[in-house]
Amino acid sequence: MSNDIAATRPSPTFVHAKEPDFLALRIDRYYRERVRNTWGGKHILHGISPGTDAIHVSGNDYLSLAQHPKILNTASDTMLHEGNGLLMSGIFLHGANPQLELEREIAHFMHAEAGVLCQSGWCANTGLIQTVANERTPVYADMLAHMSLWEGIRSAGANAVAFHHNDPEHLERQVLRHGPGVIVVDSVYSTNGSVCPLQDVVRIGNAHGCVLVVDESHSLGTHGPRGEGLVAALGLAGQVHFRTASLAKAFAGRAGFIACSERFSSYFKYESNPMIFSSTLLPYEVAGLRATLEVIKNEGWRRQRLHANAAYLRSRLDELGYNLHDSASQIIALEAGPEPQTMVLRDALEARGIFGSVFCAPATPKNRSLIRLSINCSLTQAELDRIVRACRDIREEVDMAGWPSTRRKRSRAEQGTAPRPAFSEP
């Protein structure tokens, strides 16, 4: 099937309301500048359809739980017995309620006093920032912090102060300049898999009276002896005010979470717009997540396999000359740079049955687009070797040597500057 974009063609079946000029111009611009001029009329995110022997390294199901029979059975039994519940905002939940019990269980698992289940990681982050910051609050955000955190800053009307990626010294300079505020970081960055220097960030935050927010979407379930996340694994749970997570990654569900104090959880539920004005989770989702939590705690072999798989692939791809941008996790980025080059890379990988995910603006800066490989614990040695072989064989075809990221790696090697220290996986 072709991935040509024909959306500009009018539909013969349906009559649409006419777009006023201000909207028509905006949509035209997308089709002209992005689709036609940059992507040559194809969609950058959609290549060929995967065959039956395809290797999927595009999803975030790091612990391969999306098909876990115990979790699926629990969720489907609950759906059959309870249907879709009362369909209402979570602020009405009280008393003995499975969702409130699960909030306590996940919080304690993360070494936190309390927690709040949200509809998604996006809602958790936007709602949280909106309730801790306002126009008078500087919010210090790592340049690669997830878009939901930036959106939270925007909706809070707060003063966004960016600091260089994983650069605690720059963070401290910014804090000294603008005063106490909120520091927001990801524990593991979703675009390149780099790991936040959490000890330094926490030290700076505490020394200057800041509130700390750590997004653990890509470390909850995967990091720490029982999957409790990086903050808890590093013994920092008592020093970080808020940890957020999407439960659509290692938890393989559809929800978000905020680990916080008891006092904050109650305040948050009645002050945050996504909590008040959007319906809460369904009973089968809650039951499924509860079963998932048990699997995550008890099946530590999944974490070990995940980290072993990721470490193997990182070292082999690094030897092949790819600049992995200090990835120290299960997320590995091949940064081709300009979007047309990323499409060439996508096609070369897909022709060899390797399906990663394309990241481009607005998920990355323009001209720093990439293919993200998300490693999971079920990949076999043969599959990992197939990925390595494909990456070895395509280097000329995709002009890896000419990518801006490869040139940066070379010049770093020539100057003898070591990459920023990778933080070891617990």
Can residue 126 be called a binding residue for ligand PLP (CB under 6 A)?
no
CB of 64 or CB of 374, closer to ligand PLP:
374
For residue 194, give the 3-state DSSP assignment: coil
The single-letter code of the amino acid at 370 is: L
The residue range among 121-129, 168-176, 291-299, 394-402 that interacts with ligand PLP, by the rule CB under 6 A, is: 121-129
Separation CA 244–CA 251 (nearest Å): 13
Decide: 168 and 204 in contact? Cβ < 8 Å: yes
Backbone angles phi, psi at 336, to 5 degrees: -75, -25
The single-letter code of the amino acid at 136 is: R
Question: Regarding beta strands 138-142 and 182-186, do their DSSP bridges make them parallel or antiparallel, or are they unpaired?
Answer: parallel
CA distances from 173 to 113, 163, 165, 203 (A): 32, 9, 14, 14
Smallest distance from ligand PLP to CB 94, Å: 25
- The verdict on whether omega for the bond into residue 421 sits within 30 degrees of 0, i.e. cis, is no
End-to-end CA distance of the chain, in Å?
44
For residue 234, give the 3-state DSSP assignment: coil
Separation CA 17–CA 32 (nearest Å): 22
Ranked by CB distance to ligand PLP, the top (closest) residue is: 121
The single-letter code of the amino acid at 181 is: G
Smallest distance from ligand PLP to CB 278, Å: 12
The residue range among 35-43, 212-220, 311-319, 400-408 that interacts with ligand PLP, by the rule CB under 6 A, is: 212-220
Backbone angles phi, psi at 140, to 5 degrees: -90, 115
Residue 148's nearest CA partner among 222, 256, 76 is 256
Can residue 215 be called a binding residue for ligand PLP (CB under 6 A)?
yes
Smallest distance from ligand PLP to CB 123, Å: 7
Can residue 174 be called a binding residue for ligand PLP (CB under 6 A)?
no
Separation CA 127–CA 120 (nearest Å): 10
The strand pairing partners of 195, in sequence order, are 188
Can residue 120 be called a binding residue for ligand PLP (CB under 6 A)?
yes
The residue range among 43-51, 117-125, 192-200, 206-214 that interacts with ligand PLP, by the rule CB under 6 A, is: 117-125
CB of 140 or CB of 403, closer to ligand PLP:
140
Smallest distance from ligand PLP to CB 255, Å: 7
Smallest distance from ligand PLP to CB 416, Å: 33
Residue 204 CA neighbour count, 13 Å, CB half:
24
Residue from 131, 148, 341, 342 touching ligand PLP (CB under 6 A): that is 148
The residue range among 25-33, 119-127, 172-180, 312-320 that interacts with ligand PLP, by the rule CB under 6 A, is: 119-127
Q: What x-and-dash track marks residues 244-263 binding ligand PLP by CB under 6 A?
A: --x-x-------x-------
CB of 91 or CB of 147, closer to ligand PLP:
147
CB of 193 or CB of 256, closer to ligand PLP:
256
Q: What x-and-dash track marks residues 68-87 binding ligand PLP by CB under 6 A?
A: --------------------
Separation CA 316–CA 251 (nearest Å): 28
Smallest distance from ligand PLP to CB 363, Å: 9
Smallest distance from ligand PLP to CB 165, Å: 14
Q: Where do contacts with ligand PLP occur on this chain (CB under 6 A)?
A: 120-122, 125, 146, 148, 186, 190, 215, 217-218, 246, 248, 256
